[in-house]
Amino acid sequence: MFTRILLPLDGSELSAQAVPHTLALAKATGAEAVIVRVIDSEAQIIAQTSPATIEPLPSGRITAEIAGEVVEGQRQAATETVTAAKAEFDAAGVPAGAELLEGSPGDQIVAAAERHGCDVVVMATRGRGGWKRAVLGSVADHVVREVEGASVLLIRPEGEED
């Protein structure tokens, strides 16, 4: 049924709720997992923190050095996230790889699913609809609309409301 499952994580408790579902699906189908975590690029951080979007720093903008420090902090946290998830898969006897990516989460998840030949993407979502999704955006929505050749299984945690 499935041979390769993509599990995107973002370090949140919400995204971690997709782990047991992915483990169960992988065990049931004999699939391997690919665990990914997307972090910002330096260019994204600089663009997102331009003087037009936040109160300017004394210099007027975020420097490349500061952006690099932010990315390095994200990289360390992301490494911990994927290492812990991979350990769960290893303990369960499910083959899994792990990868850190930089850039737009939706675009990077879609690219990873296609690059790894994944049959399915399993990810958690709050399931926001209507104006909340329009205002806040949705990585899950982007993945559902853009991924080719893979199904998308969205996990909506119990107790989550719009």
Quote the pLDDT of residue 43: 80
Is the pLDDT assigned to residue 89 strictly greater than 60?
yes
Question: Cβ(118)–Cβ(6) under 8 Å?
Answer: yes
pLDDT digits (tens, 9 = 90+) for 4-43: 999 999 999 999 999 999 999 999 999 999 999 999 888 8
pTM confidence score: 0.84
For range 91-104, the mean pLDDT: 96
User: 4-155 belongs to which CATH class?
Assistant: alpha beta
What is the average per-residue pLDDT within 89-108? 96
Q: How many CA atoms lie within 13 A of 115 on its CB side?
A: 10
Are the C-beta atoms of 38 and 108 separated by less than 8 Å?
A: yes
Domain boundaries, the chain: 4-155
Q: What's the pLDDT score for residue 28?
A: 96
Q: Name the residue type at position 147.
A: V
DSSP 29-65: HT-EEEEEEEE--HHHHHHHTSTTTSPPPTTSS--HH
Number of neighbouring beta carbons within 10 Å of residue 80: 12
CB 8 within 8 A of CB 105: yes
